[in-house]
Amino acid sequence: MEYFDTYSAESLAGRMAEDTIAIRNGIGAKLGQGLHFGASCFVGLGVGFYFNWKMTLLIFGVLPLAALGGMLIEWSSDQLEKESSEAYDHAGSAAAAAIGAIRTVIAFGRERTEIKRYSDRLQPAEDAGIRKQSYFGAGNGVFFLMFSIAFGVCLWFGGWLIIHDRDGNPELCRQPLPPVDSCMTGGIATNVLFSVLGGMFSLAQVAPNVAAFLVARAKVGNIVELIAKHPDINPASHGGATVELERVRGSISFRSVTFAYPARPGFKVLDNFSLTIEAGSTIALVGSSGCGKSTALQLL
């Protein structure tokens, strides 16, 4: 029950709907596409190493720099998605509270106040979304910058290898099909270039799908945490002291009761509260909001 001291039933339903959709996206088509592009990347690098390891190694040296873009996307998806989800939960709780007490809100003319409160709680989600997309764009920009640099360097180095091999092995390179490991040709250079760069391009396509998977992983954590939550106060527990009563009297007695809700452990709603109600009597619990009237009845 302490969950509902902080969140509303509406926010629970909204979180479950939003989180399950994100999980479905992360383990559905996007997961298959991520595996597809990842396999294409490894195959492209394998073909490049087979035909000319020097040229492939040069391109491969750019990959760590390109990976920085993917790391930036991964970090933004994982961290900022949690911030956005929490902000939506708090905003949903504010909206549910306002709609649940809509008569009181309208009676005191507080509609604009409640709208502002809802908007203020949504602001962190907007900020997190803007930062997430900014990091995503920066990550993609870094990757495609490295892609263009690798393309230009590859063209230059491939041409240099062709000239160098022809000068060193003129007779061998004049053959219609010279050996792959001893003579660089334009066909081999083109093959390596497009195989390896195609693999790198596939790596760029992996990033958005990995981002969806990471978002799903974060959402799974929220759902598992909620499902595995054990209440600090368990009304179904059989532990604690029990008293066998020979007969039941109609009187009710609170004896030095101290109580705080699990959501606010530092705030004592009841502090050394004692009360005796004799059978057949009628009493009224009177006090300001938050003094413990409803809490006393709920404990009873």
Q: Can you tell me the distance from the alpha carbon of 114 to that of 104, in angstroms, rounded to the nearest whole number?
A: 12
Task: Answer yes or no: are the C-beta atoms of 119 and 34 closer than 8 Å.
Answer: no
Question: Angle 66-72-78 (CA atoms, 0-180°, nearest 5)?
Answer: 140
Tokens of 115: 């709208």
- The pLDDT-based confidence of 182 (bands split at 50, 70, 90) is low
Task: Answer yes or no: are the C-beta atoms of 193 and 25 closer than 8 Å.
Answer: no
pLDDT in tens, 39-80: 888 888 888 888 887 888 887 777 667 667 766 676 677 677
Which superfamily does 3-227 belong to? Answer: ABC transporter type 1, transmembrane domain (1.20.1560.10)
Residue-averaged pLDDT of the chain: 80
- The pLDDT-based confidence of 256 (bands split at 50, 70, 90) is very high
Helix (H, G, I), strand (E, B) or coil at 68: helix
Q: Which residues contact 122 (CB under 8 A, 6 or more apart)?
A: 87, 88, 91
Environment class of 27 (CB within 10 Å of its CB; exposed 0-12, middle 13-18, buried 19+) = middle
Q: Can you tell me the distance from the alpha carbon of 227 to that of 229, in angstroms, rounded to the nearest whole number?
A: 6
Segments of the chain assigned to CATH 1.20.1560.10: 3-227
Environment class of 48 (CB within 10 Å of its CB; exposed 0-12, middle 13-18, buried 19+) = buried
User: Alpha helices of the chain — where are they, by DSSP H?
Assistant: 3-6, 9-27, 29-51, 53-60, 63-100, 102-107, 111-168, 170-173, 186-227, 293-299
Q: Can you tell me the distance from the alpha carbon of 55 to that of 196, in angstroms, rounded to the nearest whole number?
A: 9
Please give the residue that has the higher pLDDT: either 147 or 253: 253
Q: Can you tell me the distance from the alpha carbon of 143 to that of 136, in angstroms, rounded to the nearest whole number?
A: 11
**Percentage of residues in the chain having pLDDT higher than 70:** 86
pLDDT in tens, 81-121: 777 877 887 888 788 888 888 888 888 998 999 999 989 98
* Poorest-pLDDT segment among 10-14, 127-131, 133-137, 238-242: 10-14
pLDDT in tens, 129-139: 888 888 888 87
Model pTM score: 0.46
Say what the pLDDT of residue 255 is: 92
